[in-house]
Amino acid sequence: MEIKTKEAGDVQVVYLEGNLDTNTAGSAETHLNALMDSGASKILINLKTLEYMSSAGLRVLLATTKKIKGKGGQLRISDLNETVREVFEISGFSMIFSVFDTEEKALEGF
């Protein structure tokens, strides 16, 4: 998996590419925790190029949401492709997270 981050104003936009599963969840969680530890309170995770997400990946997103909300911040998710959207819908995570169709829509009013 490849992880890229860019700043969009005061929002850290994280791009996850490849597979978010048991083998890669640790590095994704480490990356997201480092952003929060460095003071990021607004994180947008763009999943447009994520090919696969397992329950380990969902756990990372849930843990990140809990941690950032505990610090008064916010996490948003955008650009779910068909495969990842299905995982979110089956697991009920589409109701837990703030999910947006596009990165642009997610950044509005952050």
User: Is there a domain that residue 74 lies in?
Assistant: yes
User: Is there a domain that residue 16 lies in?
Assistant: yes
User: Is there a domain that residue 98 lies in?
Assistant: yes
Query: Do residues 36 and 73 touch, judged by C-beta distance below 8 A?
Result: yes
User: Is there a domain that residue 13 lies in?
Assistant: yes
Q: Are strands 2-8 and 11-20 parallel, antiparallel or unpaired?
A: antiparallel
User: Is there a domain that residue 87 lies in?
Assistant: yes
pLDDT for res 109: 86
C-alpha pair distances (Å), 32 with each of 3, 38, 79, 86, 87:
10, 10, 18, 23, 21
Instruction: State pTM to two decimals.
Output: 0.95
Q: Are strands 42-46 and 11-20 parallel, antiparallel or unpaired?
A: parallel
User: Is there a domain that residue 110 lies in?
Assistant: no
User: Is there a domain that residue 108 lies in?
Assistant: no
User: Is there a domain that residue 109 lies in?
Assistant: no
**CB neighbour burial string for 19-28, b if at least 16 within 10 angstroms, e if fewer:** bbeeebbeeb
* Residue 49, phi then psi, degrees to nearest 5: -105, 15
Tokens of 86: 């299905």
Low-confidence stretches of the chain (pLDDT beneath 50): none
Span 13-39, pLDDT tens digits = 999 999 999 999 999 999 999 999 999
- The CATH number linked to 43 is 3.30.750.24
Distance CA 43, CA 58 (A): 16
Give the structural domain span for 56: 2-103
The count of structural domains within the chain is: 1
